[in-house]
Chain A
Amino acid sequence: MYEFAYHRPASVAEAVKLLAADPEAKLISGGMSLIPVLKQRLARPSALIDLGAIPDLVGISVSATTVTVKGRTTHAAVAASAEVRRAIPALAELASHIGDAQVRNRGTIGGSIAHNDPTADYPSAVLALGATVHTSRRTIAADDFFTGLFTTALEPDEIVTAVEFPIPDKAAYVKFPNPASRYAMVGVFVAKGPMGVRVAVTGAGAKGVFRHAAMEEALAKSWSPEALEGITTPAENLTTDIHASREYRAHLIGVMAKRAVAKAG
Chain B
Amino acid sequence: MPKVSLTVNGKPVTVEVENRTLLVEMLREQLRLTGTHVGCDTSQCGACVVHVNGASVKSCTILAVQCEGTEVLTIEGLAAPDGTLHPMQEAFREYHALQCGFCTPGMVMSAIDLVQRNPQGLSDREIREGLEGNLCRCTGYHNIVRAIAAAQVVMHGKAKELPRAVE
- Inter-chain CA distance A80–B41, complex, in Å, is 28
Q: Which residues of B contact A8 (CB under 8 A)?
A: 65, 68
Residue contact A4 to B20, C-beta cutoff 8 Å: yes
Q: Complex formed: what's the CA distance from A87 to B65 in Å? A: 37
Given the known inter-chain contacts A101-B133, A105-B57, please indicate yes or no for A3 contacting B20, CB distance below 8 A: yes
Q: Interface range on chain A: under 10, 10 to 19, 20 to 34, or 35 or more?
A: 20 to 34
A106-B19 CB under 8 A given contacts A36-B42, A52-B66, A101-B130 = no
Q: Smallest distance from the beta carbon of B151 to chain A beta carbons, Å?
A: 16
Which of A31, A32, A39, A100 touches B132 (beta carbons < 8 Å)?
A100
| Chain A residue contacts of B20, Cβ below 8 A | 1-4, 38
Q: Is the CB–CB distance between A101 and B132 below 8 Å?
A: yes
Does the CB pair B41–A39 fall under 8 Å?
yes
User: Does A218 interact with chain B (Cβ within 8 Å)?
Assistant: no
Given contacts A52-B66, A101-B114, contact A32 B61 (CB under 8 A): yes
Is A50 positioned at the interface, with any CB of B under 8 Å from its CB?
Answer: yes
Q: Judge whether A140 is part of the interface by a CB distance below 8 angstroms.
A: no
Q: Does A106 contact B2, Cβ atoms closer than 8 Å?
A: no
Question: Are the CB atoms of B110 and A101 closer together than 8 Å?
Answer: yes
Given the complex of chains A and B, what is the CA–CA distance between A6 and B42 in angstroms?
22
In the complex, chain B residues whose CB is within 8 Å of the CB of A182 = 132
Q: Judging by beta carbons under 8 Å apart, are B117 and A106 in contact?
A: no
The residue from B55, B61, B133 contacting A35, defined by CB atoms under 8 A apart: B61
A-side binding surface: helix, strand, loop or mixed? mixed
The complex places the Cα of A1 from the Cα of B62 at a distance, in Å, of 12
- Per the 8 Å Cβ criterion, residues 25-43 of B in contact with A are 41-43
Cβ contacts under 8 Å, B62 to chain A: 31, 35, 106
CA separation between A76 and B114, bound complex, in Å? 12
Q: Decide if B2 touches A6 in the complex (CB within 8 Å).
A: yes
- Of A6, A32, A50, A105, most buried by chain B (CB within 10 Å of CB) is A105
- Contact B133–A5 (Cβ < 8 Å): no
In the complex, the answer to whether B57 meets A80 with C-beta atoms within 8 Å is no
State the CA gap A80–B63 with chains docked (Å).
25
A99 interface residue per 8 A CB criterion: yes
Beyond A1-B20, A38-B20, A101-B114, whether A31 also contacts B63 by CB under 8 A is yes
Bound-state CA distance A212–B61 (Å) is 35
Provide the bound-state CA to CA distance between A8 and B43, in Å.
24
Find chain A residues with CB under 8 A from B66 CB: 28, 31, 50, 52
Complex-state Cα separation, A99 to B135, whole angstroms? 14
Whether B133 and A102, one on each chain, are in contact in the complex, defined by CB atoms closer than 8 angstroms, is yes
Chain A residues closer than 8 Å to B117, beta-carbon distance? 80
Contact with B along A32-72 (1 / 0, CB 8 A): 10011011000000001010110000000000000000000
Minimum-distance CB pairs A-B, first 8: A100-B133, A6-B19, A105-B55, A1-B20, A100-B132, A102-B133, A102-B58, A35-B61
Q: Please name 26 pairs of A and B residues whose Cβ atoms are closer than 8 Å in the assembled complex, sorted by A.
A: A1-B20, A2-B20, A4-B19, A6-B2, A6-B63, A6-B65, A31-B66, A35-B43, A36-B61, A39-B41, A48-B19, A50-B65, A100-B46, A101-B56, A101-B114, A101-B132, A102-B43, A102-B57, A102-B110, A103-B58, A105-B55, A105-B56, A105-B57, A105-B113, A181-B44, A182-B132
